[in-house]
């Protein structure tokens, strides 16, 4: 997998999210991270991606990437309906995996991936990059030291309205719908703040598109200790994408976009956490923050860990179960 502290990456998928992640990897020290291979659904697209990031090997199939003995860990950045099969293929060849969110389409698939990773003693993590942002780490400190008292409510919204209809978001075959695509961010934020525990109750309402996926979901989750999350996600509303952490002594607001925020509004004033300047242009807002996630994965591998404490596999499973419940209540069937 590595020589000394060098981590050798393979990139599975050549879409926008993979481009941003790879742009961060190639900006990290070469003695710590190297991207040695990339695979796409076509060799032409893989070669184009490889040329952009000076990657030596390009493959036209994910199986070829899995068979590459130079690759130690694979970043799975394909669309989420393909995550399960891609990950299982990589596990067959004993690759460690960082898999984009949502890890799979449902809790059963997520459970199988976790069981496989643990049985083979391989690293697996859902790529919840939010967990590694300095602003979010500071938020956890503020909660732990009692700055805002006992946290009782989390409010978080990820409601977007693209200027043009994005067909993938409305196609059930491509894992479309608000909850899986963007709702996972508010759900995961509530889970983080409330310690990754299992909810006591989940109530969801909303409405579906003409294709049968959820266009809007309003969600209330109750956690043990009378703690509540009030969440919303949608594909047709343009609302402030903020999160508020409400405690008995005050409120901390994660400014927009909350899942990759660089500013906290606290009772004592604003706290800013600027990102490193990008050497390459990023596609997604604050995409430079993916570097924190990559560095965390490397630390885990160097230390011989198969799970990351910041994004435990058991919590990924609970989040998947939560989304299953929401989608069932909304009437979404994939």
Per-residue pLDDT of the chain (334 residues; tens, 9 = 90+): 444 589 999 999 999 999 999 999 999 999 999 999 999 999 999 999 999 999 999 999 999 999 999 999 999 999 999 999 999 999 999 999 999 999 999 999 999 999 999 999 999 999 999 999 999 999 999 999 999 999 999 999 999 998 888 899 999 999 999 999 999 999 999 999 999 999 999 999 999 999 999 999 999 999 999 999 999 999 999 999 999 999 999 999 999 999 999 999 999 999 999 998 877 889 999 999 999 999 999 999 999 999 999 999 999 999 999 999 999 999 999 9
Can you identify the CATH homologous superfamily of domain 134-272?
Dihydrodipicolinate Reductase; domain 2 (3.30.360.10)
The secondary structure of 265-330 as a DSSP string is EETTEEEE-PPPPPSS--SSTTGGGHHHHHHHHHHHHHTT-SSBTTB-HHHHHHHHHHHHHHHHHH
For residues 309, 156, 322 and 111, what is the CA-based torsion angle, rounded to 10 degrees? -30
The H or E element containing residue 253 is: strand 250-254
pLDDT value of residue 162? 87
Would you list the domain boundaries of the chain?
7-129, 134-272
pLDDT of residue 3: 45
Q: Please give the pLDDT value at position 4.
A: 57
Whether the pTM exceeds 0.85: the reply is yes
User: Does 257 sit behind a cis peptide bond, omega within 30 degrees of 0 on the bond before it?
Assistant: yes
Structure tokens at 6: 């060098």
CB 135 within 8 A of CB 262: yes
| CA dist., res. 135 & res. 258, Å (int) | 10
Q: What is the token pair recorded at 265?
A: 């509004």
Phi and psi at residue 239, in whole multiples of 5°?
Answer: -115, 160
CA 253 to chain CA mean position, Å = 21
DSSP string, 178-215: HIIIIIHHHHHHHHHHTTTPPPSEEEEEEEE-TTSSEE
Q: What are phi and psi of 30, to 5 degrees?
A: -65, -25
Angstrom CA distances, 209 to 172, 204, 216, 235, 331, stand at: 10, 16, 9, 10, 11
CA atoms within 13 A on the CB side of 11: 33
pLDDT at 273: 98
- CA dist 146 and 252 (Å) reads 12
Closest CA to 330 of 122, 178, 162: 178
**How many helices (DSSP H) and strands (DSSP E) are in the chain?**
11, 14
Judged on CB neighbours under 10 Å (0-12, 13-18, 19+), 164 is exposed
Q: Report the C-alpha gap between 116 and 109 in whole angstroms.
A: 11
Q: How many other CB atoms are found less than 10 A from the CB of residue 280?
A: 15
| CATH topology (fold) of 7-129 | Rossmann fold (3.40.50)
Cβ count near 228 (within 10 Å): 18
Please give the Cα distance from 92 to 73 (Å, whole number): 13
* pLDDT value, residue 1: 43
| CA nearest to 151, candidates 82, 252, 66, 247 | 247
Q: What integer pLDDT is reported at residue 2 of this predicted model?
A: 43
Tokens standing for residue 198:
């299992």
3-state helix, strand, coil in the chain (%, to 5): 40, 25, 35
What gap in Å lies between CA 62 and CA 44, rounded to an integer?
14
Bridge partners, residue 253, by sequence: 244, 265
């Amino acid at each position: 997998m590595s020589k000394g502290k060098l981590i050798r990456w393979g990139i599975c998928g050549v879409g926008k999210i993979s481009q941003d992640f790879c742009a961060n990897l190639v900006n990290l020290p070469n003695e710590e991270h190297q991207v040695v291979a990339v695979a796409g659904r076509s060799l032409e697209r893989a070669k184009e991606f490889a040329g952009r990031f000076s990657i030596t090997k390009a493959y036209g199939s994910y199986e070829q990437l899995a068979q590459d003995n130079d690759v130690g860990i694979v970043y799975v950045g394909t669309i989420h309906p393909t995550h399960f099969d891609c990950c299982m293929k990589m596990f067959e060849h004993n690759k460690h995996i960082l898999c984009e969110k949502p890890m799979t389409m449902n809790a059963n698939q997520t459970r199988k991936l976790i069981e496989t990773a643990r049985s083979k003693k391989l690293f697996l993590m859902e790529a919840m990059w939010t967990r590694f942002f300095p602003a979010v780490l500071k938020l956890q400190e503020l909660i732990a030291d009692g700055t805002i008292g006992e946290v009782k409510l989390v409010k978080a919204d990820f409601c977007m309205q693209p200027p043009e209809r994005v067909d993938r978001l409305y196609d059930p075959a491509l894992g479309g719908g608000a909850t899986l695509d963007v709702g996972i961010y508010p759900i995961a934020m509530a889970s983080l703040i409330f310690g990754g525990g299992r909810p006591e109750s989940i109530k969801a309402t909303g409405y579906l598109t003409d294709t049968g996926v959820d266009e809007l979901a309003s969600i209330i989750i109750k956690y043990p200790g009378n703690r509540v999350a009030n969440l919303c996600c949608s594909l047709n509303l343009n609302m402030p994408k903020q999160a508020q952490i409400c405690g008995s002594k005050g409120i901390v607001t994660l400014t927009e976009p909350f899942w990759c925020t660089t500013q906290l509004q606290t009772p004592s004033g604003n706290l800013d956490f600027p990102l490193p300047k990008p050497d390459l242009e990023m596609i997604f807002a604050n995409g430079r923050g993916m570097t924190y996630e990559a560095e965390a994965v490397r630390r885990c591998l160097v230390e011989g860990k198969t799970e990351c404490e910041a994004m435990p596999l058991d919590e990924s499973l609970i989040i998947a179960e939560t989304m299953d419940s929401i989608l069932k209540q909304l009437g979404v069937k994939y």
